Amino acid sequence: MPVQTGAIPIDTKDDVFLDPTGAPRRIRAVTVNSASPLLVSLVAQVGFEAVWIESEHGPVGFERAETLCLAAEAGGIFPLIRLPDGERHHVLRALEIGARIILVPMVDDADYARRIVDVGKYPPLGHRGFNTRTRGMEFGMVDLQDNLARANNRTHLFAQIETTTAVANIDEILAVDGLSGIFVGPGDLAVSMGKAGQMADPELRETVLSCMAKANAAGKRTGIFTLPGPLLSAAMDAGCDLVVCGGDVMDLGTAWSKLLGEIPAELG
């Protein structure tokens, strides 16, 4: 979808993808694989709009994730959680602790996408479990009907497109009502295409852009996780709404390697 960027004050009660005027904006994020609230605060201080909390490829459980959500909101940014899968207890608990964007990996077909919506949205979109005494539902201290409607509107469920099977089923996935959009994982997708690590491959690029074009046509949002370079530039040119482009472990490893290379070990 077409987006705007810029330093816009964030009200965490609003739709993360809209500025205070209702205009669409791009959300930029980095991952905090270390699960450090201090680094979540740094993400906010730098100026990103969201932080990626990693629960698929890392040890972060829901108790720790809630602490990271608190740190994000204290800094005025949005918590985004990637879950291990789309099982009910994972989706529901992520919503209850305050996640505003939820990514479910390896969504290969529309049936899986529909199950995610069913457990992650209140009626009429789904059958999310009812409990207002949680952070995600503002502890039941606001009007119930307004809160239920707001919960559906201000939380976003994304299906990760990471395999050639998902690409083949993209039209059916995009047709699922209540799904906010798709998030392309080019790393896994490249592996599925037999092109592991080839982020500059033209076929991979065209596959990513084709998925995004179909999402735009279906009125869905799009996201991608990739480093700055031609693929990211092309995705942003295509109107990508959610861009995740780095993380603490990766970035520190690069920075520290560079630093170490500038300090000789030899004396004299």
What is residue 191's predicted lDDT score, i.e. its pLDDT? Answer: 98
3-class SS of residue 195: coil
Catalytic residue among 57, 89, 127, 156: 57
What is residue 20's predicted lDDT score, i.e. its pLDDT? Answer: 78
Return d(Cα 122, Cα 130) in angstroms, integer.
8
Instruction: Please give the distance of CA 124 from its chain centroid, rounded to a whole number.
Output: 24
What is residue 13's predicted lDDT score, i.e. its pLDDT? Answer: 58
203: left (phi over 0), alpha (psi -120 to 50) or beta: alpha
Residue with tokens 């899968």, as numbered in its chain: 85
For residue 4, the 8-state DSSP code is B
Report the chain's C-alpha Rg in angstroms. Answer: 19
Q: Are 238 and 215 in contact (CB under 8 A)?
A: no
Q: By C-alpha distance, which of 71, 166, 180 is closest to 117?
A: 180
**Torsion angle in degrees (nearest 10) through CA of 173, 179, 184, 185:** -100
Q: For residue 57, indicate whether it is catalytic.
A: yes
Return d(Cα 235, Cα 245) in angstroms, integer.
12
Q: What is the pTM of this model?
A: 0.91
Write the DSSP assignment of 81-116 as a string of letters: EE-SS--HHHHHHHHHTT-SEEEES---SHHHHHHH
User: What residues contact residue 262 under an 8 Å CB cut-off, 6+ apart?
Assistant: none
Phi, psi of 31 (to 5 degrees): -90, 150
Residues with pLDDT less than 70, the chain: 1-13
161: tokens are 């497109």
What is residue 146's predicted lDDT score, i.e. its pLDDT? Answer: 79
What is residue 149's predicted lDDT score, i.e. its pLDDT? Answer: 80
Residue with tokens 């109107």, as numbered in its chain: 239
What is residue 165's predicted lDDT score, i.e. its pLDDT? Answer: 99
128: left (phi over 0), alpha (psi -120 to 50) or beta: beta
Question: Domains in the chain, start-ordered, CATH in brackets?
Answer: 27-256 (3.20.20.60)
What is residue 127's predicted lDDT score, i.e. its pLDDT? Answer: 96
60: tokens are 């972060």
Beta strands in the chain (DSSP E): 27-31, 50-54, 78-82, 101-104, 156-161, 181-184, 221-225, 242-247
